[in-house]
Structure 1
């Protein structure tokens, strides 16, 4: 799946570059997070952002937004990634854990839950700020 996504991303990135964009960022969640890592290993993108984590093998700067309660990426794992980012200065990234959130909080949330909406909006703003 990621191989196809990687190949599908190439013409999109080429089209952006043909429009004059010289710096490209990619964001991914769940399966898309692995695609972001693959793109981050290449020279196709210059910044990466993942919601959920499992691999940290890229060379592009990365921001990781994590949930406080996530069986797939628990805070202990996020702390390990934070340590790796600190150790590998070329990654120029950060890890942020959103208190009171659980897996999927930034993309699957109850729009009637004021707290959930606030956390998701903060994550979305962090994504925009990171790419800027």
Structure 2
């Protein structure tokens, strides 16, 4: 079992509040967040951006390990995740995460690559966590 931590502090309430978010490792330290960073284009981060980074990195690592299990030893994987936040009644809901993968993996055909990538999308821990539609668009070269 592995555990990780993150923390958030929010001062003030609603749109007037301001917060800071950090990861336990210190990779993200006191990054500002609030209504303006989430909806108004202000400098800082927001929960959906952090989920997108987590999903992209989790999927990419899962795919890397799956390709290694296929006996492949070389390649480059670049994934961008776009997380969508939609209005849901009186609140909001993350409704989807769209993964866009650019891969250069010599030694695997496109059909097998698509199978391995789809399985990694379905089974990476962050995909399993999200209660949202998850799509995968990929391009393989090499």
TM score, norm. by length of structure 1: 0.29
| Structure 1 or 2: more strand by fraction | 2
Point out the structure with max Rg over C-alpha. Answer: 2
| Structure 1 or 2: more helix by fraction | 1
